[in-house]
Chain A
Amino acid sequence: MKEKTIYEHLREKGLSRRDFMKLCGTIAGMMGLEFVPPVKALGKTLGQSPEEVVAQALKTKPKVPIIWLEFQDCAGCSEAISRSSSPLLSNLVLNDIAIEYHETLMAAAGFQAEKAKEECMKQFFGKYVLVVEGSPTLADDGIYCTVAGKSNLDLLKEAAAGAAAVIATGNCACFGGIPAAHPNPTRAVGVAELIKDKPVVNIPGCPAIPEVTTGTILHFLIMGQLPETDQLKRPLPFYGNTVHDHCLRRPFYEAGKFAGSFDDEGARKGYCLYKLGCKGPTTYNACAGLKWERGLSYPVQSGHPCLGCSEPHFWDGGGFYQGQSAPIIRLDKGSTANLVGVGVAAGAALAGLNAVKKSRAKKDLRKDQSQAPGSEPGSKKEG
């Protein structure tokens, strides 16, 4: 039997053609598809709009099964996606694209669940998308995070072997996140450091913006490949700009108007939160554009500085409420006093040595002069 396409699935559920085209437009926007190169056919150049590309893909492509693994995580990214602001999108991903295995969301449990995963991995070998939430741990062969008696390293390798692509969602899966914070007892790392032979894309954030995760999954579904990424493997449509670039408080930054505390006049007037520790200038994420809760707001809009949760080591990058320009490791009073002591001691020691040398030289000079006949005492140089 031929596999049903996504469009057929949606039609069966009673989605009208108009709603379908709306959905396609939303997806195209979500994916950041601004422009699709015109297609040459029959001697003519056919312009193709982004939503047509999406519609074409949904009409012709079968469902993509997703296996969603969780390691050292808080399930926050899953929570975010299940409360995604666009019900159509999350429905599409949760119900129609088919997440075959998800420990938190699936009804099955125990051996039943594991069996479902194994069957899925066998049936769709080389086709499924592996989504990883939470950081894998390297310490002691990964025994600090086990599911069904298997270490997370084995689980990851096993699932990645048959995956068409790997999507790491959340800062933990991308860069180690909070489990990797100093002193990192479990040696948590990002997925991309372990999986080298498959295409990996990072969707960092704490949690990852659900629209970005679904957008990336849909991008893979529609274009057949992962989106273009930056140096840290983050998809450019979503991580191309900093939070600072699109910040609605940016004019205040430019004018040098800053809130000095959370309850001063500046904070009430909506001034820039740079002095309260905002990490917006170095944080690449779509917060300021997509926002959260159906575009309702995002942290900086609500009056809280950006924590930089989509950047590596955000937990150890200085205090959240400490200005970004401040040094991460501070010289405290004790160590400053010690350093001054060291400098003073070294200086004094050297000066003492010099003094001894000088007095010896003087003595020698005096001796020489008293021995040498006809020397004039007046020619003696003051040292």
Chain B
Amino acid sequence: MNWTNILNFSRGPLLHVAMIIFVAGLSYRLVRVLLLGWARDRAKNKGSKLWGVIVNYLKGLFVLPFIPWVRRTFRHNELTFIAGGLFHLSLFLVLVFGTAHILVWKSLWGFGWKGLPTPILAFFSAVGIISMIVLLINRLTHPVLKMLTKFPVWINWLVVFLPMITGFIMARHLWFRYEVIFSLHLISVSLLLIWIPFGRISHFLFYFFSKTIHGAQAGKRAVTP
């Protein structure tokens, strides 16, 4: 067994199986959540549901993250907020605007877009990795968080961190032969894809459902979310 074969395996069958589990597992989870039951909303329509949804997204994604001090969650724990925010921002940028990742999207959907310059991506991936480490240390040392943290949380951290660190090393061509670190990156990505439907990282999808539903409810009652 040599690394070229391992790379072919991880780019081929392994990633394929991971994607199968990811798609089927997420659909399963989604149906399970949706069929948990809906409470009948007997409130009268006072405003536009759509407007509520739009405002909710705009505030939640584009306004509040950039003026966090107005929120109590921020004032109580600045570190988690900043590190968590930077982590999400850099993960988004690298996944969506990294050239190698765009090629993956292109192969899946048939179209691509322009990526960000490599130095900017390198900066953000480093920021993402550092925030992950900061969050880990925070979790390891914070007395209350320590009590709240159960085993799956560590797995969540690990399966997200591994693709990030291997991807960074690969893109910067550090220490390893390219096919070795490429294989390790793909193996860790497969692990992440397999784990997502079963863990709380599935919030990357469910977040949008809750955001939409909350926005619609608030819009219906004509209260700004």
A194 interfacial contact with B, CB 8 Å = no
* Contact in complex: B5, A312 (CB < 8 Å): yes
Q: Which of A69-100 contact B (CB under 8 A)?
A: none
In the complex, what residues of A have CB within 8 A of residue B63's CB?
Answer: none
A323 interfacial contact with B, CB 8 Å = yes
In the complex, what residues of A have CB within 8 A of residue B35's CB?
Answer: 347-348, 351
B23 interfacial contact with A, CB 8 Å = yes
Chain A minimum-CB-distance residue to B116: A256
Q: A257 to B178: give the CA distance in the assembly, Å.
A: 20
In the complex, per-residue mask of A135-167: 1 if CB is within 8 Å of any chain B CB, else 0? 000000000000000000000000000000000
Q: A342 to B26: give the CA distance in the assembly, Å.
A: 11
In the complex, what residues of A have CB within 8 A of residue B32's CB?
Answer: 347, 350-351
> From residue A139, how far is it (CB to closest CB) to chain B in Å?
21
In the complex, what residues of B have CB within 8 A of residue A350's CB?
Answer: 32
A344 interfacial contact with B, CB 8 Å = yes
Cross-chain contact of B31 among A312, A317, A335, A347 (Cβ < 8 A): A347
In the complex, what residues of B have CB within 8 A of residue A323's CB?
Answer: 100, 103-104, 106-107
In the complex, what residues of A have CB within 8 A of residue B11's CB?
Answer: 317-318, 327-328
In the complex, per-residue mask of A253-269: 1 if CB is within 8 Å of any chain B CB, else 0? 11111100000000000
In the complex, what residues of B have CB within 8 A of residue A311's CB?
Answer: 4
Q: A343 to B103: give the CA distance in the assembly, Å.
A: 27
> From residue A254, how far is it (CB to closest CB) to chain B in Å?
6
In the complex, what residues of B have CB within 8 A of residue A281's CB?
Answer: 178, 182
* Contact in complex: A327, B27 (CB < 8 Å): no
In the complex, what residues of A have CB within 8 A of residue B25's CB?
Answer: 343
Chain A minimum-CB-distance residue to B105: A326
Cross-chain contact of B107 among A330, A342, A347 (Cβ < 8 A): A330
Question: Which of B16, B27, B30, B116 has the most A CB atoms < 10 Å from its CB?
Answer: B27
In the complex, per-residue mask of A237-267: 1 if CB is within 8 Å of any chain B CB, else 0? 0000010100000000111111000000000
A336 interfacial contact with B, CB 8 Å = yes
* Contact in complex: A343, B31 (CB < 8 Å): yes
* Contact in complex: A331, B2 (CB < 8 Å): no
> From residue A202, how far is it (CB to closest CB) to chain B in Å?
12
Cross-chain contact of B24 among A257, A329, A340 (Cβ < 8 A): A340
- A-binding segment of B83-91, B117-125, B208-216: B117-125
Q: Which of B22-61 contact A (CB under 8 A)?
A: 23-32, 35-36
Chain B minimum-CB-distance residue to A340: B27
B99 interfacial contact with A, CB 8 Å = yes
In the complex, what residues of B have CB within 8 A of residue A258's CB?
Answer: 99, 115
Cross-chain contact of A282 among B103, B115, B118, B179 (Cβ < 8 A): B179
* Contact in complex: A329, B15 (CB < 8 Å): yes
Cross-chain contact of B23 among A254, A318, A329, A336 (Cβ < 8 A): A336
In the complex, what residues of B have CB within 8 A of residue A254's CB?
Answer: 118
In the complex, what residues of A have CB within 8 A of residue B143's CB?
Answer: none
B191 interfacial contact with A, CB 8 Å = no
In the complex, what residues of B have CB within 8 A of residue A33's CB?
Answer: none
In the complex, what residues of B have CB within 8 A of residue A330's CB?
Answer: 107-108
* Contact in complex: B179, A343 (CB < 8 Å): no
A339 interfacial contact with B, CB 8 Å = yes
* Contact in complex: A329, B182 (CB < 8 Å): no
In the complex, what residues of A have CB within 8 A of residue B28's CB?
Answer: 343-344, 346-347
> From residue B104, how far is it (CB to closest CB) to chain A in Å?
5
Q: A299 to B74: give the CA distance in the assembly, Å.
A: 55
Q: A276 to B101: give the CA distance in the assembly, Å.
A: 14
* Contact in complex: B115, A325 (CB < 8 Å): no
* Contact in complex: B4, A244 (CB < 8 Å): no
Q: A339 to B16: give the CA distance in the assembly, Å.
A: 12
> From residue B181, how far is it (CB to closest CB) to chain A in Å?
10
Chain A minimum-CB-distance residue to B103: A323
B20 interfacial contact with A, CB 8 Å = yes
Chain A minimum-CB-distance residue to B182: A282
Q: A257 to B101: give the CA distance in the assembly, Å.
A: 15
> From residue A318, how far is it (CB to closest CB) to chain B in Å?
7
> From residue A103, how far is it (CB to closest CB) to chain B in Å?
31
> From residue A353, how far is it (CB to closest CB) to chain B in Å?
11
In the complex, what residues of A have CB within 8 A of residue B118's CB?
Answer: 253-256
* Contact in complex: B12, A328 (CB < 8 Å): yes
> From residue B157, how far is it (CB to closest CB) to chain A in Å?
24
Q: Which of A296-348 contact B (CB under 8 A)?
A: 311-313, 316-318, 322-331, 335-336, 339-344, 346-348
* Contact in complex: A339, B24 (CB < 8 Å): yes
> From residue B139, how far is it (CB to closest CB) to chain A in Å?
31
In the complex, what residues of A have CB within 8 A of residue B119's CB?
Answer: 255-256
* Contact in complex: B19, A351 (CB < 8 Å): no
> From residue A279, how far is it (CB to closest CB) to chain B in Å?
10
* Contact in complex: B178, A331 (CB < 8 Å): no
* Contact in complex: A255, B117 (CB < 8 Å): yes
> From residue A321, how far is it (CB to closest CB) to chain B in Å?
11
* Contact in complex: B4, A331 (CB < 8 Å): no
Give 6 CB contacts A-B under 8 Å: A255-B118, A258-B115, A274-B99, A325-B103, A346-B31, A347-B29
**19 more A-B contacts (CB under 8 A) besides A335-B20, A340-B27?**
A257-B117, A274-B100, A282-B178, A312-B2, A318-B11, A323-B100, A323-B107, A327-B16, A327-B104, A329-B12, A329-B16, A331-B20, A339-B23, A343-B28, A344-B30, A346-B31, A347-B30, A347-B31, A351-B32
